[in-house]
Amino acid sequence: MDKENQSLATEFILIGFTDRPVLKSLLFSVFFAIYLVTMVGNLGLVALILMERRLHTPMYIFLGNLALMDSCCACAITPKMLENFFSKDRMISLYECMAQFYFLCLAETADCFLLAAMAYDRYVAICSPLQYHTLMSKKLCLQMTAGAYIASNLHSMIHVGLLLRLTFCRSNQIDHFFCDILPLYRLSCTDPSINELMIYIFSMPIQIFTIAIVLFSYLCILFTIFKMKSKEGRGKAFSTCASHFLSVSIFYICLLMYIRPFEEGDKDIPVAVFYTIVVPLLNPFIYSLRNKEVINVLKRCSVC
């Protein structure tokens, strides 16, 4: 009977970062500020792209959706984390936990596809500029964006559905600041081998496919740039790709660090902070501060 009651547990305790009151207040202030800046930066970028007709191009459509997904990632993780700094019980229900992981998985998977689409867009723009409007039409852009959302939604639903087959009887304490998949596996009294196999079957091909597109696109871009005789042309091509390449590098370095297996639960928390909180903060600044078109639109808006 005791085992049955344990297996029916429907709430978890998020351990979080620390129990020290001073550190809690400090961390709350830091993460609250990051959250506000992240939301203003990303949603502001989305609004800017929607309002400015000159930014209604494939590159900025992908960028706007990337900013939207970064906002989704921040909303999935940060509000509950901030609440738990001053919550006595730090409880989260099973269904809240599944919803949190679903939206996180949706956002991060969509980011992979969108970054790959942006790399392909830059490849076409630099390697085949005369055919750009034919090869990268708005129709294709919208189809690629819709495909990214559909694939991300299906990917998230598969993993959430598999998580719901697990029963949790070992403990209800999650040694993390959000409902991540690996801590949940550690709490499961059902063998999670099928879940782990599905990660390799579904998640790994997505990572390999999107990384391959990014690498192929940038190898072709670099080859094309080095063949250019004009220094001005090289400089323009580099500036066109610099912000995207920086964003892709940060994202995939954090992703590869994050998905590697850990034996100790507390080792992945610093990487998770950077991956789920800091990266969504950085993206709008990377694309805004290094993009002349966005800066010019911002200047015109500030004058108006």
Rounded percentage of the chain residues whose pLDDT exceeds 70:
89
pLDDT at 3 over 80: no
Q: Which two tokens stand for residue 59?
A: 């590159």
Neighbours of 299 (CB within 10 A): 10
Residue 2: pLDDT band (50, 70, 90) is very low
Model pLDDT, residue 115: 93
- Taking CB atoms within 8 Å and a gap of at least 24, the contacts of 207-211 are 207/112, 207/255, 207/259, 209/116, 210/112, 210/113, 210/115, 210/116, 211/116, 211/252
pLDDT tops 90 at residue 32: yes
**pLDDT tens, position by position, 142-165:** 999 999 999 999 999 999 999 988
Output the pLDDT for position 259. 65
pLDDT of residue 215: 92
CA–CA distance from 118 to each of 113, 122, 123 (Å)? 9, 6, 9
Could you tell me the two tokens for 204?
């790994």
What does the pLDDT look like over 43-83, one tens digit per residue? 999 998 898 888 888 988 999 999 999 999 999 999 999 99
Whether 253 shows a pLDDT value over 50: the answer reads yes
Over residues 111-140, the pLDDT tens digits come to 999 999 999 999 998 888 889 888 898 899
3-state secondary structure of 90: coil
CA 8, CA 259: separation in Å to the nearest integer?
29
* 257/38: higher pLDDT: 38
Long-range contact set of residues 22-29: C-beta below 8 Å, sequence gap at least 24: 24/85, 24/86, 25/85, 27/85, 28/82, 28/85, 28/86
As a whole number, mean pLDDT of residues 194-219 equals 90
Q: Is the pLDDT higher at 173 or at 302?
A: 173
Element containing residue 134 per DSSP (H, E): helix 132-135
The average confidence (pLDDT) of the chain is 85
In this prediction, residue 235 carries a pLDDT of 73
pLDDT at 9 over 90: no
Tell me the CA distances in angstroms from 180 to 104, 115, 232, 258, one per residue in order: 9, 23, 47, 11
Q: Which two tokens stand for residue 41?
A: 């930066």
Q: Compute the distance between CA of residue 297 and CA of residue 193 in angstroms, rounded to an integer.
A: 51
Residues 6+ apart with CB under 8 A from 83: none
